Amino acid sequence: MSVVGHGEAAATDETRAAEASGVAGARSAAPARSSGASPRNAAAADDTASSRALLRAHRRMAWLVALMLLVGCITAIASLVNQVNDGKPFDLHGWRDGTLGRSFDRAIDVPYASSLHRWQDAVRYRVFGDLGRQVREGCPGWLFYADGLHAPTQAGHDSAPRADGSDALTDARIAALRQYAAALRAAGIQLVVVTVPDKSRVESEALCGLQQDARMTQRLAVWQRALTQSGVAQVDLLPALQAAHPAFFRTDVHWNARGAQAAAQVVGASVLPLLGAAGDTHFTHVHEAVAPRVGDLLTLAGLADVPDAWRPAPDLVANETLAAQHSGGLLDAGPAAEVMLAGSSFSRRSAFAERLGEQLGREVWNVSVDDGQFDRALQSVWRDRASWPRSLRVVIWEMSEDALSMPVSDVDTTHASNHAPKSTAAQSDAANTAANPVMPR
């Protein structure tokens, strides 16, 4: 028994020594492993410190941006309060259509403003269907000029209409008409007035819920009645233009080739009897390939330079050019002018003047100007009428219907010694435009 116990004790001591040795070895190996992992842990610690520093920087920047937004919000509220105190309402529509933003960008001269506005207008149309203050969309793709739907207001000329539909604005128009008519009669020249009906009146089927202001119709009726009472020849284009449907571009305020041709035929039929017979001048027609045409209404809406997916599609047009044929030599001056066309941009679009000349068999002296309004073209050449050719027999005064509701220029509505309205400084730009009108060869 004693031998066995001694053996067991010896084995136990050996076992304990081995365990102690193993623990010591493990302890001695641990530092070695720690020593081998030390670089990775150091790198991780550095990354953590950098992340924390970057996070603190981001937080500081976020607080700075939030502070700036808060200051801007407080400034905006203070501005609105001051505006309300001054009796001025907040221009919500100006904010929506981008007018206020454009004013702000003009003030600070942002270099990328044009691109920003272009895409702002595109998103505004695609999301809200809004085309800005000057343009309205009727049926899909059909655009209309806002001033052709609702008469612009003007202080001093927007009094309530009388029982016969007239008002201060129509009074001023009629006074100018009578002066022109009297002066031309005295010179032996016939006056023919052509009032182009608004696109919304002609293409009424494309309005799709839009409506034209009744005031526009009243003023047109008063104007036409005044022409009749004054003994001035006038041409009613509405039936012919409606029959030529579509007579207007979808994305433009002006008539297209169909409308211009229909108008030229009707006006020509009214003017030709005043000339006696058709002349012998012929016109050639040159057609171009069909191409997209960005109308002025797309331009007004700020959508001229955006992809078609972000705007109403432009019209597809094959432009047509008309040119008079002259049989004489290079030094042949050709026939003297017998017909003057003093009109608006309608008389400068879709070759209307040339189409009219083809109906009359003679070239037309076209002094029309863009933005002709009521009588800007006629005013521009009126003061030089002493130099008009003696062969002139007819003056065609063309204007758009909405010109009857535009603000009145500062013209002298009293009879001067020459029975004519005087040109004014406000019309000097138009005078410069038509100072050298193109005479027929």
Indicate the pLDDT class of residue 34, thresholds 50, 70 and 90.
Answer: very low
CA 238 – CA 339 distance, rounded (Å): 23
Q: Taking 80 as the threshold, does the pLDDT of residue 237 lie above it?
A: yes
Q: Is residue 29 part of a domain?
A: no
Q: What is the pLDDT of residues 356-386, one digit of tens each?
A: 999 999 999 999 999 999 999 999 999 999 9
Distance of CA 387 to the CA centre of its chain: 38
Q: Do 334 and 405 share a domain, yes or no?
A: yes
Q: Do 403 and 287 share a domain, yes or no?
A: yes
Q: Do 270 and 397 share a domain, yes or no?
A: yes
Q: Taking 80 as the threshold, does the pLDDT of residue 77 lie above it?
A: no
What is the pLDDT at residue 275?
Answer: 96
Q: What is the pLDDT of residues 43-69, one digit of tens each?
A: 666 667 777 877 787 788 888 888 888
Q: What is the pLDDT of residues 129-180, one digit of tens each?
A: 999 999 999 999 999 999 999 887 765 556 678 888 888 889 999 999 999 9
Looking at 70, 90, 110, the residue that finishes a domain is: 90
Give the domain range for residue 359: 147-155+169-433
Q: Do 288 and 200 share a domain, yes or no?
A: yes
Q: Taking 60 as the threshold, does the pLDDT of residue 193 lie above it?
A: yes
Q: Do 174 and 77 share a domain, yes or no?
A: no
3-class secondary structure, 248: strand
Q: Taking 80 as the threshold, does the pLDDT of residue 346 lie above it?
A: yes
Choose between 194 and 410: higher pLDDT: 194
Q: Enter the DSSP assignment of 322.
A: E
Q: Is residue 222 part of a domain?
A: yes
Token pair of 397 as six digits: 């005064």
pTM: predicted TM-score of the whole model, two decimal places: 0.71
Q: Do 78 and 151 share a domain, yes or no?
A: no
How much is the mean pLDDT over the chain? 80
Q: Do 228 and 84 share a domain, yes or no?
A: no
Q: What is the pLDDT of residues 90-138, one digit of tens each?
A: 555 565 555 665 565 555 555 666 787 788 899 999 999 999 999 999 9
Q: What is the pLDDT of residues 265-303, one digit of tens each?
A: 999 999 999 999 999 999 999 999 999 999 999 999 999
CA 383 – CA 431 distance, rounded (Å): 9
CA 382 – CA 434 distance, rounded (Å): 11
Q: Is residue 69 part of a domain?
A: yes
Q: Do 354 and 271 share a domain, yes or no?
A: yes
Q: What are phi and psi of 295, to 5 degrees?
A: -75, 165
Q: What is the pLDDT of residues 14-23, one digit of tens each?
A: 445 444 454 4
Which neighbouring-strand residues pair with 190?
A: 394
What is the pLDDT at residue 421?
Answer: 42
What is the pLDDT at residue 88?
Answer: 59
Token pair of 396 as six digits: 């065609």
Which neighbouring-strand residues pair with 315?
A: 293
What is the pLDDT at residue 69?
Answer: 81
Q: Which of 435, 429, 352, 397 is nearest to 183 (CA)?
A: 397
Indicate the pLDDT class of residue 253, thresholds 50, 70 and 90.
Answer: very high
Q: Do 312 and 246 share a domain, yes or no?
A: yes
Q: Taking 80 as the threshold, does the pLDDT of residue 31 lie above it?
A: no
Q: Taking 90 as the threshold, does the pLDDT of residue 87 lie above it?
A: no
Q: Taking 80 as the threshold, does the pLDDT of residue 415 lie above it?
A: no
Indicate the pLDDT class of residue 389, thresholds 50, 70 and 90.
Answer: very high
What is the pLDDT at residue 44?
Answer: 61
Least confident window among 235-244, 246-255, 418-427: 418-427
What is the pLDDT at residue 58?
Answer: 78
What is the pLDDT at residue 306?
Answer: 94
Q: Is residue 375 part of a domain?
A: yes
What is the pLDDT at residue 339?
Answer: 97
Q: Is residue 397 part of a domain?
A: yes
Q: Is residue 428 part of a domain?
A: yes
Percentage above 70 pLDDT, the chain = 69
Q: Is residue 412 part of a domain?
A: yes
3-class secondary structure, 250: coil
Question: What sign has the CA pseudo-torsion 34, 35, 39, 43?
Answer: positive
Instruction: Taking residues 419-426, report their average pLDDT.
Output: 38
Q: Is residue 71 part of a domain?
A: yes
Q: Do 215 and 83 share a domain, yes or no?
A: no
Looking at 72, 90, 108, the residue that finishes a domain is: 90
Which residues does 182 contact at the CB level (< 8 Å), separation at least 6?
419
3-state helix, strand, coil in the chain (%, to 5): 50, 10, 35
Token pair of 364 as six digits: 């037309």
Split into its structural domains, the chain has a count of: 2
Instruction: Taking residues 33-41, report their average pLDDT.
Output: 52
